Amino acid sequence: MKLDQLQYIIEVAKTKSLTMAANNLNVTQSAVSQSIASLESELGLPIFIRSRSGVEPTKEGVSIIQTALEVVTKLQEMKERVLRLSQIMQAELRVASIPGVMSSLVKTVSNFKNEYPDVSFRITEENSDNTLNAIRQNKVDLGLVGMRGDTAKGTGMLFEPIWEGRIVIGVWNNSPLAAKKKITPFELQKYSLALYDESYVHDFLHEFEANYGPLPILFTSNNPNAIATALKESLAATIGYDFSFFDSPYALNGSLVMLEIEDVEQVPIHLGWVRSDTSKSSQISNLFIQRFKQHFQVKR
């Protein structure tokens, strides 16, 4: 039994004519007739009978034709899925991320490329506000950002939270604070800070200063090496959400220590993925987001 034989009996059943079926399939009438005769011989059953009104299926033929239609339809669906998958797996995915979770992102990309080597990635490091703007301008497909609430709602973008974070203090292991597990707001005011240039960090500072007074800021930067140098040389501590330190090589090797802040009420912030709600890369984006979530949640 061959695929073309199934296609021939389906077309003959539809047109009720060997001639019309052959024309529609761009083959000769004899090819259609011989193919059907061969299939009938193989099955040991007649599929069609000829009458004055044309070619009609037999009782057995109706069942055979219906099965053939189901088989051909399934094969066509499979071909279409394989074609879509092939196109998806050769896509380019443009991803922007806040600096603090860049290590987690890079590890996910590496693992993803092992499974789907034909997918290409373009990664940029941006703060959350710049990432949202880049998505609006179609310069980025996916953004890994920090958000307070669902601030993407009604903006033409989708936001999928994956972690609810809290602000912590990061110090080097040679700092006098490293032996502590917690720090009070008034103790924190005694230390200079090197900060990420992130909107959620600035929001926390404004709220903190409104309740406790100003904090001494050494500098603000989105360069992790600059901030790490300030911590390592005991020039400053840093402030960030806990998820910013999870995959940091400094935190993993014990060089960077995280402290909780006592008695400070915090507005929760969510780490999550944002993208346009009309993203053309939605299938590959969904797949990549799932891989990141698996990595991130296992690491916790």
For residues 69 and 83, state if they share a domain.
Answer: yes
Of 158-162, 231-235, 279-283, which one has max mean pLDDT?
Answer: 231-235
State residue 279's pLDDT score: 57
For residues 34 and 95, state if they share a domain.
Answer: no
For residues 98 and 152, state if they share a domain.
Answer: yes
Supply the CATH number for residue 29's domain: 1.10.10.10
Q: What is the mean pLDDT of the chain?
A: 85
Structural domain includes residue 277: yes
Task: Determine which of 83-92, 108-117, 154-163, 266-275 has the lowest per-residue pLDDT on average.
Answer: 83-92
Q: What is the pLDDT of residues 50-77, one digit of tens each?
A: 877 788 888 888 999 999 899 888 888 7
Structural domain includes residue 295: yes
Higher pLDDT, 225 or 296: 225
Where helices occur in 139-222 by DSSP H, the ranges are 185-188, 199-212
Considering its fold, how many domains does the chain have in total? 3
Place of tokens 């800021």: 217
pLDDT of residue 169 exceeding 90: yes
State which of 38, 54, 88 marks the end of a domain. Answer: 88
Q: Which value, in Å, is the radius of gyration of the alpha carbons in the chain?
A: 32
Q: What is the pLDDT of residues 98-130, one digit of tens each?
A: 887 888 899 899 998 888 888 889 999 888 889
Structural domain includes residue 142: yes
State residue 78's pLDDT score: 83
State residue 244's pLDDT score: 82
Place of tokens 């909107």: 199
For residues 178 and 253, state if they share a domain.
Answer: yes
Structural domain includes residue 42: yes
Three-class SS state of 51: strand
Q: Is the dihedral of CA 145, 149, 150, 155 positive or negative?
A: negative
State residue 213's pLDDT score: 92
Pairing of strands 142-147, 193-196: unpaired
pLDDT of residue 240 exceeding 90: no
Arithmetic mean of pLDDT, 293-299? 72
Structural domain includes residue 162: no
At residue 87 the predicted structure's pLDDT band, cuts being 50, 70 and 90, is low
For residues 134 and 151, state if they share a domain.
Answer: yes
Burial of 125 (0-12, 13-18, 19+ CB in 10 A): middle
Arithmetic mean of pLDDT, 11-18? 89
Q: Which residues are within 8 A (CB) of 206 and not within 5 positions of it... i.e. 6 or more apart?
A: none
pLDDT of residue 88 exceeding 70: no
- Size (the chain), residues: 300
State residue 80's pLDDT score: 67
State residue 86's pLDDT score: 63
For residues 250 and 200, state if they share a domain.
Answer: yes
pLDDT of residue 152 exceeding 60: no
Look at the pTM and tell me if it is higher than 0.75: no
For residues 279 and 216, state if they share a domain.
Answer: no
Structural domain includes residue 113: yes
For residues 95 and 84, state if they share a domain.
Answer: no
Supply the CATH number for residue 241's domain: 3.40.190.10
Q: What is the pLDDT of residues 260-277, one digit of tens each?
A: 998 888 877 889 999 887
For residues 208 and 135, state if they share a domain.
Answer: no
For residues 109 and 243, state if they share a domain.
Answer: no
**CA–CA distance, 182 with 213 (Å, rounded to integer):** 19
Show the domain range for 239.
167-267
Structural domain includes residue 139: yes
